[in-house]
Structure formats: C-alpha cells, structure tokens
Amino acid sequence: MVTELANEKSAYSSALRDLMKVSGEPSWLRELRGSSFDQFERVGFPGVEQEEWKYTNVALIKRTNFTPVVNSNGTALSKRNGLAPFIYDETRDSTFVFVNGIFRDDLSSCNGLSGVVALDLNDALQISEYERVIRASLERNADGDNNGFELLNTALFAGGLFVKIPRGVNLSTPIQLQFVSEPVKGESPAAAFPRVLIVGEENSAATIIESYRATAEGVYLTNAIVDIVLDEGARFQHYKVQRESAGASHIATTRADLGPKASYDTTTINFGAALSRHDIHVTMDHEGASCSVDGLYMVEGSQHTDTHSVIDHRQPHCTSRQLYKGILDGKSRAVFNGKVFVRHGAQQTDAQQTNKNLLLSSEAQIDTKPQLEIYADDVKCTHGAAVGQLEPDELFYLESRGINPALAKNMLTYGFAGEVIEKIQIESIRRELDEAVLNRLHSDLTIDV
C-alpha cells in the first residue's frame, strides 16, 4: 500500500516537474499548478466516506499506476485515418481533436468556422487579452472546494483549448471537441487531463459537441474539465457524449457560468467506461438566465455511472429545467444526485427537476437523490425521481404483433429514452443514440422509416 502510494505520487509529481520545465508559462499558472498539486497531495482522491462520493468508489483509480500524458506524443491517427468514425456529419469542418487530452491542431479541421477564436491554451496565454480571461477562470475555480480529480487536472493539464465566440456571432455550424484515447506504447495505462475553456461573448450563439471515444479497448483514465462562461444574452447548446472504452474510467467536470439573460441547454449522454462520474455545475448569478440540463445514462454489465448535478439559482428571474433518464441492465449501478439551490433573494425562480430510471434487470441498482434547497419565498420549483421496470402488458402487446421478446424490450427501452433523444437538435447524435439504444441487445434490426 505504501509502495503503491509512492508510485502514484511519483508518476503524478514527475509529470508536474515535466510541465514546470515548459518555457513560457506565466508564473501565476506555475504557482497555480503547484498549489493545486500540493492540495491534491493533502486531500488525495475522494473516498466513499465523503458524502459526495458515497456511492462511487474510485479505489481502482487510486491503485492503478497511470502515466499522465503531459506531452504531445506520436499518434497513429491522421485526418484521413482512424478519426472519421468519431466525427459527426455536421462537424466535418469544425472539429477540434485531442489525443489523450492534448489538443492536436494537426488533426483538427476548422475550415467551417469563421469568426471564432480557437487556440491552444498555451498560445492563448501569450495574448494578454485572453490571458486575463483564462486566469480569471482558472483562479476563480481554484477557490472552490475542488475535489482531488479537479485539483489534479489543474495541476497537470497540458495542451488544452481556448475557444471564444465573439460578441454577436451566431454560429450555425456546431463545434465538435473530439477527445480520443489512444494507447501509449510501452507505458502503463494513460491518464489524460483534457482542459477546455469556452467563452461566449455578449449575444453570441453556438453549439458545442463534446465527445469521448477510444481507438482501442483498454484501461485508461480521462479526467476532464470543461468550463463555459457566457456573457449577457449568449445562447449555447452543449452536448456531451461519453462512449469511452469498456475498461476506462471517465471523470469529468462541466462548469457553466451564465450571464444576464444567457441561456445554456445541455444534454449529457453516458454510455461508455467501466466507471464514469460527471459533475455538472451551472451557476446563474445574473438575472434572467435560463438553462436546461438533461441527460441519458445507459449502462449494463458491471458498469458504474454517477452524475452529480448542481443548478445554482443565485439571482431572480432565472429558469432551469432538468430531465435525466437512466437505463440500467445487468449488474450495473447508477447514481444521480441533483441539487437545485435557490439562494436568498432569487425570487421568481422557476425550476423543474426530474430523474427517471428504468431497471432492466433485478441486479441493477440505482441511487437517486433529487435535492431542492430553497432560501427564497416567491419561487416555483418541482422535483421528482422515479424508478421502474418495463410493463409486462406493453411487452405482450409488441410480442402479440410477432416481435420477438428481445426486440420488444429494446423498443420499449427506446421509447423510454425517447423523451431525451428527441430533444437533441443534432441529427447525427440522435441517429447514433437510436442505433445504440435499439441495438442494445444486438438484435438484428433496421427500423428507419
């Protein structure tokens, strides 16, 4: 145990030493990396004794001897080779590719994006205007009660991306952030630390697709942070599609700060990874902001998925909608913890939260905890959670039309997921989900009409 701990620390701390050698990073960032790492060493990875991690045990991550990827290394991928299956039709010319967390300009295609600033974080830091914004974001978040994963990301992220949609720009082409995991030759399993900051200036509009895939099955860790800062009147859609390899651990934090009258609509899809944890935190600290924070998790076998969501109404006249649906089969386990805060003075808040789960097996397990904390008196808030199984009468109905039981089960499961899927505005993602949900049991099936 002592040895393991020493290994773990040495791999991470030697990665930090490597990063510190990189020339050109501002001193404040070096300090921030150092202090984050010190804090990480103090608190370590979260344990099940912590309320927020009660149902999600990351002991395996703690035990595994990961090699942090902090430098761009050789890749078998090229624009023509290996990437195509991961790129959506809508984003052929607007995709930013990351390999093991490192942004790869050479693999990215952004001809379809004009009027957008997209720079390697290191390059963006050389420009004082952007440096200010990046610093404000990194340091602001460093003040919070970050967990060990977030601290480690801040200490070790390398080759992140800075995206800015300038004032008034209404981007019709969606932007894809494609995170690809690729085994590193001769090394222990890779740990990737993707880091992205997206800024939407006043009255800008954009759609972001954040997608995680692997080139091969295997064990690795993704530990990602994506920060989104929206100025007044910005309107963003954000899709996160997590289809990591079956052996992977995926830990991700999404933080969105909404300006006055800004709107942020997000849908998170969780299908992959052995263990996944998503912390999504939407802060509405200005009047008139609105968000919808939806999601679909579908797990089977011994997969474990955990969503911790915080929607924070800090000012009056903000609206939030949340619909999370879960489909669990085999011995899988899911956790949904959704907090909605309505702070003192956040009058006229309108918040709705729903979490519904479908258990397809008697051994699957869901822990759901919708949580509403209201400190204002003139608000409209509802929340609820449900856990159910497929209705035998519905299955019989489909079977009585000649549809075999496995397919009938899939069709009803698909129907359950439909409420989330049909709201998705990117057709390729919808198709991908149709296929994934309907073909879950790999029954022979084509049903497009």
User: Rule CB under 8 A: which residues touch other proteins?
Assistant: 391-394, 396-405, 407-408, 411-412, 414-419, 421-422, 445, 447-449
Between 88 and 416, name the residue whose CB sits nearer to other proteins: 416
Between 129 and 448, name the residue whose CB sits nearer to other proteins: 448
- Give min distance, CB of 35 to other proteins, in A: 49
Residue ranges of E strands in 65-186: 67-68, 95-99, 102-109, 117-120, 161-165, 175-181
- Give min distance, CB of 447 to other proteins, in A: 5
Between 281 and 325, name the residue whose CB sits nearer to other proteins: 325
- Give min distance, CB of 402 to other proteins, in A: 4
- Give min distance, CB of 396 to other proteins, in A: 6
Alpha-carbon distance of 353 to 344, in angstroms, equals 20
- Give min distance, CB of 3 to other proteins, in A: 52
229 in Cβ contact with 188 (< 8 Å) = no
Between 6 and 445, name the residue whose CB sits nearer to other proteins: 445
The torsion of the CA quartet 136, 138, 143, 146, rounded to 10 degrees, works out to: 160
Distances (CA, A) of 76 to 98, 104, 180: 13, 13, 12
Distances (CA, A) of 121 to 102, 161, 270, 316: 10, 5, 27, 34
Between 27 and 362, name the residue whose CB sits nearer to other proteins: 362
- Give min distance, CB of 421 to other proteins, in A: 7
Half-sphere exposure of 80 (CA within 13 A, CB side): 0
Between 374 and 398, name the residue whose CB sits nearer to other proteins: 398
Between 43 and 398, name the residue whose CB sits nearer to other proteins: 398
Alpha-carbon distance of 40 to 31, in angstroms, equals 14
Between 21 and 401, name the residue whose CB sits nearer to other proteins: 401
79 in Cβ contact with 202 (< 8 Å) = no
Between 186 and 392, name the residue whose CB sits nearer to other proteins: 392
- Give min distance, CB of 446 to other proteins, in A: 9
Between 24 and 402, name the residue whose CB sits nearer to other proteins: 402
- Give min distance, CB of 326 to other proteins, in A: 16
Sign of the torsion angle spanned by Cα atoms 259, 137, 53, 239: positive
H or E element in which residue 407 lies: helix 405-421
- Give min distance, CB of 442 to other proteins, in A: 16
- Give min distance, CB of 300 to other proteins, in A: 19
Sheet holding 235-242, edge to edge: 102-109, 95-99, 175-181, 205-214, 235-242, 263-270, 290-299, 319-328, 350-359, 380-388
Alpha-carbon distance of 215 to 129, in angstroms, equals 37
Distances (CA, A) of 8 to 1, 131, 150, 192: 10, 32, 16, 15
Residues 6+ apart with CB under 8 A from 343: 312, 313, 314, 315, 375, 376
Output the DSSP codes for 384-395.
EEEEE---HHHH
